[in-house]
Chain A
């Protein structure tokens, strides 16, 4: 079951903007979009954006998601130290009838 493709790492400076990408195909990301999860070291994942690009209650407006074709993106503006974490995308694959995850992107705020 092939997963989604994410860059392994991204480094950006404090108060800068980071854009993380997640590439799939027409059966998953291109079909219903991708959700985004944030995971700090030693903690469980937390959803920060649904597949329809809406944020759950309590998630900062600095996080915004979008999609173009088979690639989903998560943009984080005004980077803060607490944004340093692993970010995963997830999508439903309608062809395989399975949930797929990206390999995760480690965001470092320098």
Chain B
């Protein structure tokens, strides 16, 4: 059974930094693309970033490009999201999601999410 467990969320001041982690189990982690998707309170889903399972290619939404960095440690089956220069509009529940192929595919498994609140 696929399991994804996010951690690292919390309250941070505007301009601050935070690193999210997503521990994966139940599948061969290195074989699949992984993503971060966020959901602001009472709002819809927004794709944030993708990292491929094979060559580690990365992709970002315009809203976070240059501020967020996605990475993975296949030896630890863990996905990361380094978030810098945080803004109030980054406040959201952040989900990690598994793709269906090494390069992408649909979002077929999701974690429970971790809440990031950016506020002074």
Residues of A participating in the B interface, judged by any CB pair closer than 8 Å: 1, 3, 35, 37, 44-47, 50-51, 56, 88, 90, 92, 97-104
Q: Chain B 59-94, CB within 8 Å of chain A: the 1/0 string?
A: 101110000000000000000000000000000000
B112 on interface, CB distance cutoff 8 Å: yes
Chain B's interface size range is: 20 to 34
Give chain A residues whose Cβ lies under 8 Å from the Cβ of B109.
47
Q: How many residue pairs between the two chains, A and B, have CB atoms under 8 Å in the bound complex?
A: 51
Residue of A nearest to B45 (CB): A101
Could you write out 9 A-B pairs with CB less than 8 Å apart? A1-B61, A3-B44, A35-B106, A37-B45, A44-B95, A44-B111, A45-B110, A47-B106, A102-B44
Chain B residues 15-72 with CB under 8 Å of chain A are 35, 44-47, 50, 59, 61-63
Contacts A45-B95, A90-B106 given; does A101 touch B47 at CB 8 Å: yes
Give chain A residues whose Cβ lies under 8 Å from the Cβ of B111.
44
Contacts A44-B113, A104-B44 given; does A98 touch B61 at CB 8 Å: yes
The answer to whether A44 and B106 touch across the interface, beta carbons within 8 angstroms, is: no
Contacts A50-B106, A97-B59 given; does A44 touch B100 at CB 8 Å: no
